[in-house]
Amino acid sequence: MNDQQLLRYSRHILLDDIGIEGQEKLLAANAIVIGAGGLGSPVALYLASAGVGRITLVDHDTVDLTNLQRQILHTTARVGQPKAVSGKETLAQINPDVDVRTVCERADASTLADLISDATVVLDCTDNFKTRHAINQACVSARVPLVSGAAIRMDGQVAVFDSRSGSTPCYACLFPPDQQFEEVQCSTMGVFAPLVGIIGTVQAAEALKLIMGIGESLANRLLLLDARNMEWTSIRTTRSSDCPVCAGAHN
């Protein structure tokens, strides 16, 4: 690290858990953020400010006026602009040393396989089950840890699925792809603005911990938030022996 970096990241370096070694791990990391909306906004902001060396923003959508109530990565002047491009502009203003890359297309299987192959961590900030399952499949195949978040109305959840370990569940263990789940969208159900900030910030914290190898991650736990009453619930999770995605991945 140069003198400017030592100064910029000094409050991290002062922490015994992080120090110079931990900060150098962040600088060398490659984080894939899929979804540059409500969850992706705080995720990307904190990863960039913390000094993650490379951040790839993946989003096929454009900024809409209705997004600005909660998607703090974007501004009114950027309505109509691709979200990934808008996000890159914001992150460059916060930390110009970060290598921010953009993918302005939908995250499908082939795109994900290429992106995740050399990733340090993947953050799922999307809003539909099909994409979440595709991300999970790619992460299990590449054995890259996945930090998953979701938020709707006044309720949120966050979990870590670390496929590097044969004992922890993947996303499909909790939400089997052959089961029917009700798809709920912010456009019809609404979402409490600070909720995505809370969940996204937890996602960022878990990703930074995974990169640096500090603390205990949320692997084997599903963390639920009732923002109406500001109550957290932690549920223990286990790996499914007949999971169609990860059951045979560690044999």
3-state secondary structure 172-197: HHHCCCCCCCCCCCHHHHCECHHHHH
Question: CA dist 63 to 72, 73, 84, 92, 144, Å?
Answer: 11, 10, 9, 18, 29
Task: Give the C-alpha separation, 109 to 133, whole Å.
Answer: 10
CATH number for the domain formed by residue range(s) 3-236: 3.40.50.720
Average pLDDT over residues 88-117: 94
What are the residue boundaries of the structural domains of the chain, listed by start? 3-236
CA 214, 216, 136, 69 dihedral sign is negative
pLDDT at 166: 78
Contact in structure between 33 and 56 (CB atoms under 8 Å): yes
Residue 114: burial class (beta carbons within 10 Å; 0-12, 13-18, 19+): exposed
Full-prediction pTM beyond 0.85? yes
Average pLDDT over residues 40-66: 97
Closest CA to 158 of 221, 76, 95, 83: 221
Q: Does residue 204 carry a pLDDT above 90? A: yes
- Confirm whether 186 is a catalytic residue: yes
Selected catalytic residue, list 173, 186, 243, 246: 186
Q: Does residue 73 carry a pLDDT above 90? A: yes
pLDDT digits (tens, 9 = 90+) for 167-193: 899 999 999 988 766 666 666 788 999
pLDDT digits (tens, 9 = 90+) for 159-170: 999 989 878 999
